[in-house]
């Protein structure tokens, strides 16, 4: 006899609006615990192991979540060695379970088959899709909620991120416990707790992504000026964060999560 799929419930933007209001003044730890209590093993943490992601990993370990939560990392195959070294140090020193996802093709194969995509604005979108988005979609269905380290103080499309957002592509709820943390607060946290972070941040790279598309920035430049500098496209994003994607006006997002988790989410209060 075939087993029936678990019943699911639709969660809409209107459903999470009161939760966002209630979480607006909660601390980073309170939001992480809140998400862990509601989703258990169905909560993961997504990180590219930049400074903010390292702070979130440190906090998750400090709260004793090592055995309870996967950390998802997309290794595009063209990361800096310093980034991979940071991933390994966080895995071994914080004891976190890091799930590494890979694109289907090496960059060499991709360039042979599709050309050097990352050197044009249209190609960048394709390349980020193939090397970041597609690998991330491999986890669709495994988790119902995902912690991320986006912060309002990064500005741009992140200037107004809510504590919770819906990700229709991964069909899960994004949770941003660091949404109110400023860059000064983040740096002071790193210093106070001696957090492991990518050594490129001390070499002129405020943000770090693939080695093909990240350069250091000059003093006075925007912190994202080193991303896709060759495209002269300061507003470029890789779009793996649902809140970075531009939405058609009037579109209302929704996701479907198991009914039991939805009951926990809406029934247990904040």
CB of 200 to ligand SF4, least distance (A): 15
Using the rule CB under 6 A, give the single segment among 26-34, 47-55, 150-158, 204-212 that binds ligand SF4: 204-212
Using the rule CB under 6 A, give the single segment among 58-66, 92-100, 205-213, 250-258 that binds ligand SF4: 205-213
Q: Tell me which of 26, 212, 229, 256 binds ligand SF4, using CB under 6 A.
A: 212
Using the rule CB under 6 A, give the single segment among 31-39, 46-54, 64-72, 206-214 that binds ligand SF4: 206-214
CB of 85 to ligand SF4, least distance (A): 18
Q: Tell me which of 78, 98, 175, 255 binds ligand SF4, using CB under 6 A.
A: 78
Q: Does 48 bind ligand SF4 (CB under 6 A)?
A: no
CB of 214 to ligand SF4, least distance (A): 7
CB of 248 to ligand SF4, least distance (A): 23
Which tokens in the block code for residue 184? 């000064």
**Cα separation of 265 and 241, whole Å?**
22
Q: Tell me which of 161, 200, 210, 217 binds ligand SF4, using CB under 6 A.
A: 210
Closest CA to 49 of 249, 205, 180: 205
Using the rule CB under 6 A, give the single segment among 32-40, 149-157, 183-191, 208-216 that binds ligand SF4: 208-216
CB of 203 to ligand SF4, least distance (A): 18
Site for ligand SF4 in 213-232 (CB under 6 A): 213
**Residue 224 main-chain phi, psi, to 5 deg:** -100, 10
CB atoms within 10 A of CB 24: 11
Site for ligand SF4 in 92-151 (CB under 6 A): 118, 124, 127-128, 131-132
Binding residue count for ligand SF4, defined by CB under 6 A: 13
Residues within the interface to ligand SF4 (CB under 6 A): 76, 78, 118, 124, 127-128, 131-132, 209-210, 212-213, 238
């Amino acid at each position: 006899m075939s087993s029936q799929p678990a019943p699911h419930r639709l969660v809409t933007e209107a459903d999470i609006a009161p939760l966002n209001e209630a979480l607006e003044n909660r601390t980073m730890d309170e939001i992480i615990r809140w998400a862990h209590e509601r989703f258990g093993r169905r909560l993961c943490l997504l990180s590219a192991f930049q400074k903010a992601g390292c702070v979130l990993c440190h906090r998750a370990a400090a709260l004793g979540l090592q055995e309870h939560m996967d950390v998802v990392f997309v290794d595009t195959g063209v990361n800096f060695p310093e980034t991979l070294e940071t991933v390994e140090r966080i895995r071994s020193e914080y004891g976190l379970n890091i799930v590494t996802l890979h694109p289907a093709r090496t960059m060499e194969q991709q360039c042979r088959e599709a050309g050097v995509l990352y050197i044009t604005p249209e190609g960048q979108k394709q390349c980020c899709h193939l090397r970041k988005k597609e690998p991330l979609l491999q986890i669709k269905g495994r988790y119902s909620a995902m912690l991320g380290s986006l912060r309002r103080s990064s500005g741009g499309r992140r200037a107004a991120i809510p504590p919770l957002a819906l990700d229709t592509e991964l069909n899960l709820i994004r949770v941003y416990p660091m949404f109110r943390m400023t860059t000064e607060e983040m740096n002071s946290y790193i210093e106070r707790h001696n957090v492991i972070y990518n050594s490129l941040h001390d070499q002129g790279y405020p943000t770090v992504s693939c080695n093909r598309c990240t350069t250091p920035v000059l003093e006075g430049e925007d912190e994202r000026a080193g991303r896709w500098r060759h495209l002269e496209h300061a507003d470029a994003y890789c779009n793996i964060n649902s809140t970075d994607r531009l939405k058609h006006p009037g579109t209302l997002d929704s996701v479907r999560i198991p009914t039991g988790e939805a009951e926990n989410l809406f029934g247990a209060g904040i």
